[in-house]
Amino acid sequence: MKLFKIRGGVHPDDRKRLASEQPIETLPLPDLLHIPLQQHIGAPASPAVRRGQRVAKGDLLAQGQGMISAPVHAPTSGRIMGVGQYPAHHASGLSVPTITLQPDGEDRWSDAIQGVDDPFALEPEAIAARVAAAGIVGLGGATFPSAVKLDLRKRYTIQTLVINGAECEPYLTCDDRLMREHSEAVIDGIRIMAQALGVTQIVIGIEDNKPQAQAAMAVAASIDPNIRIARLPTRYPMGSEKHLVQTLTGRETPARGLTADIGVVVHNPATAFAVHEALRFGYPLVARVVTVSGSAISRPANVRVPLGTRVQDLIAHCGGFKEEPTRLISGGPMMGQPLPSTRVPMVKGSNGVLALTAAETGQSDVRPCIRCATCVQACPCGLVPLEMVAHIHAGDLEGAVKRGLMDCIGCGSCAYVCPGHIPLVQFLNHAKGEMAARGRSKQKQMETKRLAEQRTARMEAIKRAKREQMEQRKREMAARKKAEAEAAQQAAAATTEPVASETES
């Protein structure tokens, strides 16, 4: 199919060969699983179990709260050891609400697990409801609840479902292996999602450095003439949702808008596989495929991991470290986040664990900007990173915003090509975080002001009501006194009238 050119981008060494030929293997159950209540964008789930409770695999551990949320399920059978705080799978390392589960070794599925014989006979709402109940989120890393995206047909006119199989980050090969080994299941999940969205146009984008995945998916997709395989050029960040859609359709997503604004919904192959398992077998999302790679890893691999497994257990399964890594990263090296320790648990959005050596991180001394504009040429969003960073250095975040700060996707292309090794993307991400914090502070102030005004209005209404009640009581008392006085006068008049009559006689 015809592809459209996009601006910018870089060509880093993909280093996928470390794990690309390693078939998916299943991690043995660890001694303990630490399952965070928030593994998705939106409100955290609310615990539905208690300490000491026995659960089966797939049982509900925590219920999603609100419109944007997702439930959490037991990755295996066992006993709940506690509901408390545990370090998060996040660079901060802060503790978050977490359920600790001790596996019993049986790995026994719940009796309530039940699939659907023919998912295509279901109404779109029923498919979305089952996806929501299974706790499925975007497994490409965004972790947006998938059912919410499937319901976008209610607000937008959707014509096309795009499957993002680019997997453009270096090292990562979990989607590649999933498309190679489970292509029929992935295609089935894609067709079920298309049924939920009510679309017939389906495009699967896969980069050219994955020829085996392209071939396997093409064979599996041959059952449906509405599915097209797009062979994408190997270029980072081709996996960026908006840039992928522009490459495939030639249409640009509005600034700070959604691809749904132009009639496109994007999902990930791993998400499609999870939808297949949820609809066909009733399995909730309790495990995912993860790439463990980097030169510091003894045996790079693609592993199907129960959610809640500690990173240290995953690394031990891969033979441990050959040497102490300079950097431990969750996700890819371009947009991934540093991990504070190996104690943190694997979560739904963790598609990779990378242990990188000093040679791989390429750390060098930072030199001053020479305004060569190499970062401008690399930026896929058409921004001028050097100008934005100059405003950030000067403390002028508003100036950076005017130059497009909030349109930055944080892909790291600018920092990758900078000859001065300036951490441009880190400056930009810090500034975006600061602006978000300011926005929250402003919103909090506005909310506080609104609540104060409501309280003032409420107190004034109470005072006014009291004054009206007092005035009403005064009027009633005056009326009662007047009535009593009139009654007394009438009684007096009635008493003196017979006396007057006797005197006359």
Predicted confidence (pLDDT) per residue in 210-264, tens digit: 999 999 999 999 999 999 999 999 999 999 999 999 999 999 998 888 999 999 9
Q: What is the pLDDT of residue 405?
A: 94
pLDDT at residue 502 is higher than 60: no
Q: What is the mean pLDDT of the chain?
A: 93
**CB-side exposure of 449: number of CA atoms within 13 Å?**
6
φ/ψ of 280, rounded to 5, equals -75, -40
User: In the structure, what pLDDT confidence band is assigned to residue 494 with cuts at 50, 70 and 90?
Assistant: confident
Q: What is the pLDDT of residue 335?
A: 92
Tell me what the mean pLDDT of segment 483-488 comes to: 85
Residues in Cβ contact with 355 at an 8 Å cutoff, skipping those fewer than 6 apart: 292, 293, 294, 295, 296, 297, 315, 321, 325, 327, 328
CATH classification at residue 138? 3.40.50.11540
The answer to whether 108 and 56 are in contact (CB under 8 A) is yes
Q: Is 489 domain-assigned?
A: no
| 413-462 per-position pLDDT tens digit | 999 999 999 999 999 999 998 998 888 888 899 999 999 999 999 999 99
Q: What is the pLDDT of residue 436?
A: 87
User: Cα–Cα distance between 25 and 46 in angstroms, integer?
Assistant: 32
- DSSP letter (8 states) at residue 445: H
Q: Which residues are annotated as a binding site?
A: 369, 372, 375, 379, 408, 411, 414, 418
pLDDT at residue 365 is higher than 90: no
Q: Is 356 domain-assigned?
A: no
Tell me what the mean pLDDT of segment 34-61 comes to: 95
Residues in Cβ contact with 194 at an 8 Å cutoff, skipping those fewer than 6 apart: 161, 200, 202, 226
User: In the structure, what pLDDT confidence band is assigned to residue 498 with cuts at 50, 70 and 90?
Assistant: low
374 by Cβ neighbours in 10 Å (0-12 / 13-18 / 19+) ranks as: middle
Instruction: Tell me the angle at which helices 183-197 and 211-221 cross, rounded to the nearest 10 degrees.
Output: 60
In terms of Cα–Cα distance, which of 220, 231, 157, 153 is closest to 191?
220
User: Cα–Cα distance between 60 and 113 in angstroms, integer?
Assistant: 11
What element of type H or E holds 216? helix 211-221
Q: Is 299 domain-assigned?
A: yes
| 269-291 per-position pLDDT tens digit | 999 999 999 999 999 999 999 99
Alpha helices (runs of H) in 331-423, residue ranges in sequence order: 358-361, 374-378, 385-393, 397-402, 413-417
The answer to whether 321 and 353 are in contact (CB under 8 A) is no
In terms of Cα–Cα distance, which of 34, 28, 90 is closest to 310?
34
Tell me what percent of the residues of the chain surpass a pLDDT of 70: 98
User: Cα–Cα distance between 131 and 276 in angstroms, integer?
Assistant: 10
User: Cα–Cα distance between 159 and 153 in angstroms, integer?
Assistant: 9
13 by Cβ neighbours in 10 Å (0-12 / 13-18 / 19+) ranks as: exposed
Task: Please name the residue that has the structure tokens 């007096």.
Answer: 492
Q: Is 373 domain-assigned?
A: no
The answer to whether 267 and 164 are in contact (CB under 8 A) is yes
Q: What is the pLDDT of residue 497?
A: 63
Q: Determine the straight-line distance between the first and last CA of the chain, rounded to whole angstroms.
A: 128
| 372-422 per-position pLDDT tens digit | 999 999 999 999 999 999 999 999 999 999 999 999 999 999 999 999 999
Q: Which residues are annotated as a binding site for [4Fe-4S] cluster?
A: 369, 372, 375, 379, 408, 411, 414, 418
Domain that holds residue 217: 16-338
φ/ψ of 241, rounded to 5, equals -55, -50
Q: What is the pLDDT of residue 495?
A: 77
pLDDT at residue 93 is higher than 90: no
For 386-395, b/e burial (b = at least 16 CB within 10 A) is bbbbbbbeee
Q: Residue 201: beta bridge partners?
A: 160
Q: What is the pLDDT of residue 236?
A: 95
Tell me what the mean pLDDT of segment 158-177 comes to: 96
Which two three-digit tokens encode residue 416? 């990758």
Q: What is the pLDDT of residue 482?
A: 87
pLDDT at residue 481 is higher than 60: yes
State which amino acid sits at residue 245. V
pLDDT at residue 38 is higher than 80: yes
Count of the separate structural domains present in the chain: 1
31: three-class secondary structure by DSSP: coil
